[in-house]
Amino acid sequence: MKRLARLAKIVVALKLCLGVMFVGGPLEASQKGDFVPGELLVRQKAGAPAAGVRAALQAQGAGEIEEIAGIKVKRIRVPEHAMERVRTALARNPNFEFVEPNFIAQGTLVPNDTSYSSQWYLPRINAPEGWRLTTGSADIPIAIIDSGIDPNHADLGAKLLPGYNWLDHNTDTRDVQGHGTAVAGAAAAITDNGRGIAGVAWDNPIMPLVVLNSSNSASYSNIASAIIYAVDQGVRVINVSIAGTSYSHTLQNAINYAWNRGALVFCAAANSNTDDPFYPAALNNAIAVAATDQNDRKASYSNYGDWITIAAPGSSIYTTLRGGGYGSRSGTSMASPVAAGLGALIWSLNSNLSNVEVLEILKAGADDLGDPGFDPIFGHGRINVAGSLSLAENVVVEEDQAPPVVALTSPADGSAVAGQVTLVAQVEDNVGVEKVEFFLNGQRLGQDTSAPYMHLWNAEQAASGWHRLSALATDTAGNVGLSEEIMVFVEQTADLVPPQVSISYPLPGAKLNKQEWVRAQASDNVGVARMELYINGALMSVNNSDTMDWRWMTHKERASVFELTVKAYDAAGNVAEDSITVYK
């Protein structure tokens, strides 16, 4: 009765607005922990000039390693001995939204408990009765972000999809230490095949995504990349049985990316018996899974707190082991994939449900343990497969035909603009926003796929006078919403701003090898027309772009001291230069 009363609060077709909350600010106490030496994660502010960002990084001796697609977070390499100094300097730079270490999370598997050899937890969560409604669907895969999966295991190999390995940057997803194979079996081992164990989701395939190394650690950047990869491959159920003690803007952006595209990320709450938040479980829009034992009590090791979403069995979970065997494993690392398996079953039974509806069904179908209603030990209760599937079976979902509501909030209607202008759109939708496109006089300027939705427009390229701006938002169901047009007046003035130019290689005072590359970059408020390279006053190279790459055969030079000068010109004739001295 309590479960039915809670379900009554779910509208037949939930109409909720999904949003992204960004948390800013400097490194906090919650961000203490291990991190990848010599690496930082940064995100530049919308509208920040590329030259300013490059100059800020170069000034600190930092270089970009990669950008995490979808959330625009750059992983940069910095001098290891100066990490905190560099982080502080970049955090104070107005070009950056946030700067943080590339923290390392730890796998949450606890020591084996071999006293249990049967899968006690499946009857406890009412799985056999639930399987009468569905045993899963090949159309609803589960992404296991972990240490890989043993492809030769008889209870796993035949259902593995192609995945990716962020440790070696290839498609070899073999398990590097065993954690991922155990997690995968708890969620979706091959079932009813006359051997081994049963998974919660019998027929759902598994996508292995490798981020956890043989030392049981994973970088936040790799976890975020794997979440985004899974979502971009169309996966709606994602499991992360990895936890770190440090809050991360990067992980929050990745979780938001998944949530806004209709996916659910199940995360282990970790095994420290504390209410301190662990991440990504404690992030907004993540499903934090605590662990219960054979008596439906809180597992002794399980974390708890007001950030817990739901509970699932996690003690003595009999599962698949790397090398082809089976054994018992305990921890919230096991509880999370058990819950993720139920999420996959719900979508297998009713694929038209939104992620909001699946989450509400998980909560409403759960058995309410502990204090009535939500509590910090069990969250919304311990999962019940039959209870949730019964609710999912009876929810009639109307096709989403509601378009997004979109409005341009900047610049203001009727305002005068010049130079670089940041266009900002505010969007609300009942399901989720896929993209927002920006238009000038009906011509597409560009798009953004994550909130806040922005685009940098160079008004210098438009003629003086009035111009029309608009935005078009597309939701995950394909519905389109168009904003009202706003009018802005472009004021063109004489270009008096010179370009910015810097020599990035060789470094000032460097001792030259037998041959070197001279590299320089330039930027301008309108555009760079030409770059020139001079060595000891002699013109050596001309390039009609904003980059200079010139091979210098230094072994042919007779001098021992060289002054290198790079000049950059814009179309208005403004010029700037950068000079360094190097030695042979």
Residues that are catalytic: 146, 179, 333
Indicate the SS3 state at residue 100.
strand
Q: How far is CA 438 from CA 90, 352, 474, 484, 525, in A?
A: 30, 30, 12, 12, 21
Q: Which residues pair with 382 in a beta bridge?
A: 311, 367
Please answer whether residues 268 and 336 qualify as being in contact, where contact means their C-beta atoms are separated by less than 8 angstroms: yes
- What does the block give as tokens for 481? 């919403």
**Cβ burial, residue 194 (10 Å; 0-12/13-18/19+):** exposed
Other C-beta atoms within 10 Å of 151: how many?
Answer: 15
For 490, residues 6+ apart whose C-beta sits below 8 A from its C-beta are: 416, 417, 418, 459, 462, 463, 464, 465, 466, 467
For 53, residues 6+ apart whose C-beta sits below 8 A from its C-beta are: 44, 95, 96
Instruction: Show the 3-state SS of 8-46.
Output: CCCCCCCCCCCCCCCCCCCCCHHHCCCEEEEEEEEEECC
Whose tokens are 């502080």? That residue is 88
Angle between helices 83-92 and 50-59 (to 10 degrees): 150
Q: Which H/E stretch holds residue 481?
A: strand 480-482
* End-to-end Cα distance, the chain: 85
- Helix-, strand-, coil-residue percentages of the chain, each rounded to 5: 20, 35, 45
For 498, residues 6+ apart whose C-beta sits below 8 A from its C-beta are: 524, 570, 574, 575, 576
For residues 517-547, one letter each, b for 16 or more C-beta atoms within 10 angstroms of the residue's C-beta and e for the rest, the string is ebebbbbbbbbbbbbbbbbeeeeebebeebe
Q: How far apart are CA 186 and CA 295, in angstroms?
A: 19
Please answer whether residues 354 and 262 qualify as being in contact, where contact means their C-beta atoms are separated by less than 8 angstroms: yes
* Sign of the CA dihedral with 36 first, then 91, 251, and 263 last: negative
